[in-house]
């Protein structure tokens, strides 16, 4: 209801000044993020005790978040089952190459990876690509599991229906001016959260033979500590290490877990300010077991050449 109220207020303020509309887009995007987190928990069957209730609510939320429920549920389950496993990358994660893999690539593929890891692409272009386009194309998981296609098509049809009805009622220009900033901001926040939750210096990656679920969950996921208002809008997903240890814990119990086991507050703790330092980190260095930047890799190469 607050989201709908903000959306109406944004439409009404178009006559007064678009800057007011854009200001209101910030809390509106926050409510979309919170809706997504509820859908996320429904995908884990953790928000309600009933599996049916989780699926019903997850599907009902999907048009608001542009995310097909079944597709997201299955892809995210794979992410949880393989997170931190170097031999099982590719579905539901941010693509990461090791230093050795990167150096072995031809020039044009190295440049493509650098472009992909550029913050402008990763947080400017990629969020729209993922939520608006990719979720509706037969790529990765959808290509492997065609049974997910009806759910994807249904979500896309519902989104199309909402856009059409709203466009006919208030005008497609008005709808775009209101919805576009909400979508861009909400999807960017979603990708940023997911990035910081796993892309930090002392994260954890391992080969299949040495990979362990609990180690990867605790050491490969951060505790993204945010102010309380942001914790609410993001439904405590910052306690990501606990979430990966046990995804059946609903978001409204994660705070209780931190209170009961305060030592977990110091595990991979990343603040808002510290999260900015994660931006350049792009390569997994198997020698130091750290995520490093392209610049750090270059320094390592120069140091090796000097020693030689």
pLDDT exceeds 70 at position 208: yes
Burial 148-171 (b: 16+ CB within 10 A, else e): beebbebbbebbeeeeeebeeeee
Query: Each residue of 257-281: pLDDT tens digit?
Result: 999 999 999 999 999 999 999 999 9
For β-strands 97-98 and 281-285, DSSP reports them as parallel
The Cα–Cα gap between 58 and 107 comes to 43
The Cα–Cα gap between 232 and 278 comes to 23
Spell out the residues 6+ positions from residue 141 whose beta carbon is closer than 8 angstroms to its own.
71, 74, 75, 78, 91, 92, 148
Query: Each residue of 78-129: pLDDT tens digit?
Result: 999 999 999 988 888 889 999 999 999 999 999 999 999 999 999 999 999 9
pLDDT value, residue 209: 87
- Say which residue the tokens 């944004």 belong to: 10
Averaged pLDDT, 216-234: 94
pLDDT exceeds 80 at position 304: no
pLDDT value, residue 179: 95
Ramachandran category for residue 93: left, alpha or beta (phi over 0 → left; psi -120 to 50 → alpha): beta
pLDDT exceeds 60 at position 151: yes
pLDDT value, residue 307: 56
pLDDT value, residue 305: 56
- pLDDT above 70 covers a percentage of the chain that reads 98
pLDDT exceeds 80 at position 308: no
pLDDT value, residue 92: 80
pLDDT value, residue 221: 95
Annotated domain spans of the chain: 2-307
Identify each DSSP E strand in 101-186 by its residue range.
none
Tell me which H or E stretch contains 46.
Answer: none
pLDDT value, residue 145: 81
pLDDT exceeds 70 at position 231: yes
pLDDT value, residue 18: 92
Query: Each residue of 275-299: pLDDT tens digit?
Result: 999 999 999 999 999 999 999 998 8
Nearest by Cα to 195 from 137, 282, 113, 115: 282
Query: Each residue of 47-84: pLDDT tens digit?
Result: 999 999 999 999 999 999 999 999 999 999 999 999 99
> Average per-residue pLDDT in the chain?
92
- pLDDT above 90 covers a percentage of the chain that reads 83
pLDDT value, residue 89: 87
Q: Are 48 and 57 in contact (CB under 8 A)?
A: yes
């Amino acid at each position: 209801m607050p989201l709908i109220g903000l959306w109406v207020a944004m439409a009404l303020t178009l006559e007064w000044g678009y800057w007011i509309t854009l200001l209101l887009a910030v809390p509106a995007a926050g409510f979309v993020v919170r809706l997504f987190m509820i859908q996320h928990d429904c995908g884990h069957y953790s928000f309600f005790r009933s599996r049916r209730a989780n699926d019903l609510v997850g599907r009902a939320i999907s048009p608001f978040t542009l995310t097909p429920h079944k597709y997201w549920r299955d892809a995210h389950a794979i992410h949880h089952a393989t997170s931190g496993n170097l031999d099982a990358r590719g579905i539901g994660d941010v693509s990461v190459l090791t230093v050795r893999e990167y150096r072995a690539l031809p020039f044009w593929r190295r440049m493509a990876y650098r472009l992909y890891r550029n913050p402008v692409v990763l947080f400017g272009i990629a969020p729209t690509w993922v939520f608006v386009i990719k979720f509706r194309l037969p790529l990765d998981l959808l290509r492997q599991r065609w049974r997910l296609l009806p759910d994807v098509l249904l979500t896309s049809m519902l989104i199309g229906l909402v856009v059409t009805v709203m466009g006919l009622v208030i005008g497609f220009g008005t709808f775009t001016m209101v919805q576009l900033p909400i979508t861009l901001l909400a999807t960017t926040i979603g990708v940023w959260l997911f990035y910081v939750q796993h892309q930090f210096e002392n994260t954890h990656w391992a080969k299949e033979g040495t990979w362990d679920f609990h180690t990867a969950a605790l050491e490969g996921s951060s505790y993204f500590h945010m102010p309380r208002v942001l914790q609410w809008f993001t439904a405590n997903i910052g306690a990501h290490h606990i979430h990966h240890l046990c995804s059946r814990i609903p978001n409204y119990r994660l705070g209780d877990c931190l209170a009961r086991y305060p030592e977990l507050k110091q595990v991979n703790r990343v603040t808002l300010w510290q999260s900015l330092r994660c931006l350049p980190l792009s390569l997994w260095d198997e020698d130091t077991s750290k995520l490093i930047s392209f610049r750090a890799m270059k320094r390592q190469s120069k140091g090796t050449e000097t020693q030689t």
